[in-house]
């Protein structure tokens, strides 16, 4: 008998909550901090401090002008968006003078933070490389020597720019230009940290690379920038996780992630987002898939106050594939406005979008999606499936699907479902001795199983545990 | 003092669904090692009684008493009733997408293990043996609960649950319905295997057919929310040959007298 990879959560054995497990904070000690608020002076300081080439310095200043001139989006949760106090945010905090290659060199409080989050342990067990970002900078980075020897590059983005400026300049902001949206412009102006990955042709990175993003300071803005290039026929899986302490004031996380999968390459990008409930998570993620390349976004949104994020794949080469698999959990006071975008711009391309959302205790989950098939993208296949589960009557779900099909001979499947946890299902499970809470949790975990089964086992267990915490309503 | 051989006892139980009384006062004692059958035509209230006893929220027991092993069943919620030893094999088992048979059963077995680790340790062995008994493929373990199951597979899964959970009192609600003869034999084999001198079984059925394979000690005929006749296994055979109409006429006649 083959056992499923994912064990069901051992129910009711954990009384932990976000506050003790993730929401703790260190004293705010830092090497250097920009003043509050944003202007050209802050941008100049960041660029000078990083000793960047002139093109990047100019790129930042131009991006700031775009940010300042662009109005706030008039869609999504405009009430929450307009409540962001940009002047109260720190846009750059450098926690340490230098990045460390050894955990023993990382100051005790920061090291303890990452230990509590299980990063060094995961690194030893099943990762090929780890990047740990704290506030604006990657404070710890490691990468297995044998992978370096295969020509694989895995660095924080700043080091990437310094050491491989030719590759960076060639691809940086080509997938997401600064002017794409207000928050990509903001990121372009003040970006710091994130990952730079290049995988040479034909190289298969068999075990995942991971980055962990931690915000510690109050009123912090984190703006990491990630660029992954998988050269022809190569394969890579990148995983990111994120958490922050609980504050009464708001924090902002606004990342830009660009993926480039060249001919025949494969990139999977997995996110487990578990920000605290006082944080705005406004992220732009986009990939380009060339001929016969595959890009998969596996995107889990558990935390944050408001998330607006729509991972996108541009299928620009014939035979390219894109898949976006996402789960959003919206609890009390949360709005998860998540979704997917796929642009078919070449023949014989295929895409699959699977979106699962759970709303509980007044939380709101929205699916917002765009599938566009250009005129030349004949024989393309599109599949979109949105499933929403409502735990109670106070919660809310909406779907905003858009399809623009300009090509002939395109196969399209679209399904959207809203379901409630049925009394009959609860009775069936409780009649076998499970409590009502256990039964409800089992139904919810079953609902997101198509997502969890795609995660490495350790992350699947962690996700189930997070969902359990959310279902218990113990998250502050 | 409680008679320890009396596993199940109900007195004058009334059940309402959506404000309508569907069970109008039934009483029954089931002792250790006994098999009882409740037979009745559609709409006689037998499934309502089964669901109400298991604690289905849509069925309320408005008066009467019911005890399981001497404990007051009606003070318990569905979970507690299950843990006290009651089991209901559903007539229409529900699909729970994404929850595998193995994970579900492990949780259900663990819920009643009282911290006994050996139960969980033996889980795989036990489930495999029961698969064999019910002629179920091992791949069943990783399928999602009742999702895409055939009628026969659903009923086997119900009996599998009974075998894994080892109830004191198992109520089998129309477990024979929709089964072909081969499936009926397999399901009956499972029921007979589960039955022992320590537990008891209450079969709820429309047809006599399953009683050829699972022999009851007592048969109760239910009509219009009441038990109208009780007897030995021969009563089932009589029903089979004469149909419910004959008993209905007799009952009507009796009421007139």
What is residue A27's predicted lDDT score, i.e. its pLDDT?
83
Contact A443 B111 (CB under 8 A): no
Residue B4's pLDDT band (cuts 50, 70, 90): confident
Complex ipTM: 0.95
What is residue B257's predicted lDDT score, i.e. its pLDDT?
45
Interface of B with A in 51-80 (CB under 8 A): 54-58, 77-79
Q: Could you identify the residue written with the tokens 């960076």?
A: A168
Q: Does B98 touch chain A (CB under 8 A)?
A: yes
Nearest-CB residue to A433 (from B90, B93, B108): B108
Chain mean pLDDT for chain A: 92
Angle ∠(B37,B39,B41) on CA atoms, nearest 5: 165
Contact A432 B128 (CB under 8 A): no
Interface test with B, best of A431, A437, A440 (most B CBs within 10 A): A431
What is residue A223's predicted lDDT score, i.e. its pLDDT?
98
Contact B94 A4 (CB under 8 A): no
Q: Does A433 touch chain B (CB under 8 A)?
A: yes
Rounded distance between C-alpha atoms, residue A286 and residue A461, angstroms = 27
Phi, psi of B163 (to 5 degrees): -65, -35
Chain B residues lying within 8 Å of A438, measured CB to CB: 107, 111
Q: How does pLDDT run across A251-281, given as a tens digit for each residue?
A: 999 999 999 999 999 999 999 999 999 999 9
What is residue B256's predicted lDDT score, i.e. its pLDDT?
52
Nearest-CB residue to A1 (from B93, B112, B124): B124
Residue of chain B minimizing CA distance to A447? B98
Q: Where are the domains of chain B?
A: 6-92+167-256
Interface test with A, best of B107, B112, B125, B165 (most A CBs within 10 A): B107
Q: How does pLDDT run across A96-135, given as a tens digit for each residue?
A: 999 999 999 999 989 998 998 889 988 888 899 999 999 9
Q: Where are the domains of chain A?
A: 1-28+422-476, 31-309
Residue A148's pLDDT band (cuts 50, 70, 90): very high
Is residue A389's pLDDT more than 70? Answer: yes
Is residue B24's pLDDT more than 50? Answer: yes
Is residue B116's pLDDT more than 90? Answer: no
Q: How far is A436 from chain B (nearest CA, A)?
A: 8
Rounded distance between C-alpha atoms, residue A401 and residue B114, angstroms = 49
Q: Does A425 touch chain B (CB under 8 A)?
A: yes
Identify the CA nearest to A253 among candidates A176, A179, A187, A158: A187
Share of chain A above pLDDT 70, in %: 96
Is residue A21's pLDDT more than 90? Answer: no
10 Å CB burial of residue B46 (0-12, 13-18, 19+) is buried
Residue of chain B minimizing CA distance to A6? B103
Residue A16's pLDDT band (cuts 50, 70, 90): very low
Fold (CATH) for B6-92+167-256: Rossmann fold (3.40.50)
Chain B residues lying within 8 Å of A9, measured CB to CB: none
Compute CA distances B151 → B37, B72, B130, B132, B179, whole Å.
Answer: 22, 34, 19, 19, 7
Is residue A474's pLDDT more than 60? Answer: no
Interface test with A, best of B96, B136, B162 (most A CBs within 10 A): B96
Q: How many CB pairs under 8 A join A and B?
A: 101
Q: How far is A451 from chain B (nearest CA, A)?
A: 10
């Amino acid at each position: 008998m083959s056992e499923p990879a994912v064990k069901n959560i051992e129910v009711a054995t954990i009384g932990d909550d976000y506050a003790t497990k993730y929401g703790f904070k260190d004293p705010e000690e830092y090497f250097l901090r920009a003043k509050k608020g944003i202007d050209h002076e802050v941008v100049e300081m960041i660029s000078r401090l990083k000793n960047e080439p002139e093109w990047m310095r100019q790129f930042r200043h131009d991006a700031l002008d775009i940010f300042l001139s662009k109005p706030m989006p008039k869609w999504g949760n405009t009430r929450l968006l307009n409540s962001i106090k940009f002047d109260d945010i720190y846009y750059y905090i450098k926690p340490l003078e230098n990045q460390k290659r050894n955990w023993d060199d990382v100051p005790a409080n920061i090291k303890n933070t990452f230990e509590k989050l299980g990063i060094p342990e995961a690194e030893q067990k099943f990762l090929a490389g780890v990047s740990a970002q704290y506030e604006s900078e990657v404070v710890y980075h490691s990468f297995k020597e044998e992978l370096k020897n295969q020509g694989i590059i895995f660095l924080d983005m700043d080091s990437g720019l310094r050491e491989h400026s030719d590759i960076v300049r060639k691809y940086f902001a080509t997938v997401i230009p600064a002017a794409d949206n207000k928050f990509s412009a903001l990121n372009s102006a003040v970006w710091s940290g994130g990952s730079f990955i290049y995988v040479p042709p034909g190289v298969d990175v068999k075990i995942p690379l991971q980055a962990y993003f931690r915000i510690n300071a109050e009123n912090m803005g984190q703006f990491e920038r990630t660029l992954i290039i998988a050269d022809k026929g190569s394969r890579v899986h990148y995983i990111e996780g994120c958490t922050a302490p609980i504050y009464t004031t708001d924090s902002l996380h606004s990342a830009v992630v660009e993926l480039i999968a060249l001919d025949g390459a494969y990139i999977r990008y997995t996110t487990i987002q578990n920000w605290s409930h006082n944080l705005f998570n406004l992220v732009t993620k986009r990939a380009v898939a060339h001929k016969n390349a595959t890009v998969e976004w596996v995107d889990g949104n558990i935390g944050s106050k408001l998330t607006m994020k729509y991972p996108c794949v541009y299928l620009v080469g014939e035979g390219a594939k894109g898949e976006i698999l996402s789960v959003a959990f919206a609890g009390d006071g949360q709005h998860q406005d998540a979704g997917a975008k796929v642009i078919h711009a070449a023949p014989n391309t295929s895409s699959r979008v699977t979106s699962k959302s759970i709303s509980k205790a007044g939380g709101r989950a929205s699916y917002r999606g765009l599938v566009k098939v250009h005129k030349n993208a004949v024989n393309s296949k599109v599949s979109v499936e949105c499933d929403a589960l409502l735990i109670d009557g106070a919660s809310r779900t909406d779907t905003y699907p858009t399809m623009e099909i300009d090509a002939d001979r395109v196969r399209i499947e679209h399904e959207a479902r809203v379901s409630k946890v049925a009394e009959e299902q609860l009775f069936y499970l409780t009649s076998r001795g499970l409590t009502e809470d256990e039964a409800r949790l089992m139904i919810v975990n079953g609902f997101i199983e198509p997502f969890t089964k795609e995660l490495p086992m350790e992350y699947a267990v962690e996700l189930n545990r997070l969902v359990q915490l959310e279902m218990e309503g113990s998250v502050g | 003092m409680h008679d320890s051989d009396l596993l199940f006892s109900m007195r004058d139980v009334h059940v309402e669904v959506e404000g309508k009384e569907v069970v109008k006062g039934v009483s029954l004692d089931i002792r250790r090692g006994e098999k009882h059958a409740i037979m009745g035509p559609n709409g006689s209230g037998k499934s309502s009684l089964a669901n109400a006893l298991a604690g289905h929220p849509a069925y309320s027991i408005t008066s009467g008493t019911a005890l399981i092993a001497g404990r007051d069943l009606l003070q318990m919620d569905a979970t507690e009733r299950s843990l006290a030893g009651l089991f209901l094999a559903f007539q229409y088992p529900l699909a729970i997408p994404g929850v595998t048979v193995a994970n579900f059963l492990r949780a259900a077995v663990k819920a009643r293990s009282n911290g006994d680790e050996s139960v969980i340790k033996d889980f795989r062995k036990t489930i495999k043996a029961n698969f064999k008994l019910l002629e179920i493929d091992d791949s069943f373990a990783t399928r999602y609960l009742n999702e895409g199951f055939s009628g026969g597979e659903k009923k086997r899964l119900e009996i599998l649950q009974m075998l894994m959970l080892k109830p004191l009192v198992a109520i089998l609600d129309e477990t024979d319905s929709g089964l072909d003869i081969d499936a009926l034999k397999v399901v009956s084999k499972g029921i007979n295997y589960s039955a022992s001198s320590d537990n008891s079984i209450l079969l709820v059925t429309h047809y006599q057919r399953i009683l050829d394979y699972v022999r009851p000690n007592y048969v109760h005929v239910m009509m219009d929310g009441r038990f109208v006749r009780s007897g030995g296994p021969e009563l089932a055979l009589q029903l089979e040959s004469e149909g419910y109409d004959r008993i209905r006429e007799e009952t009507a006649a009796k009421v007139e007298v």
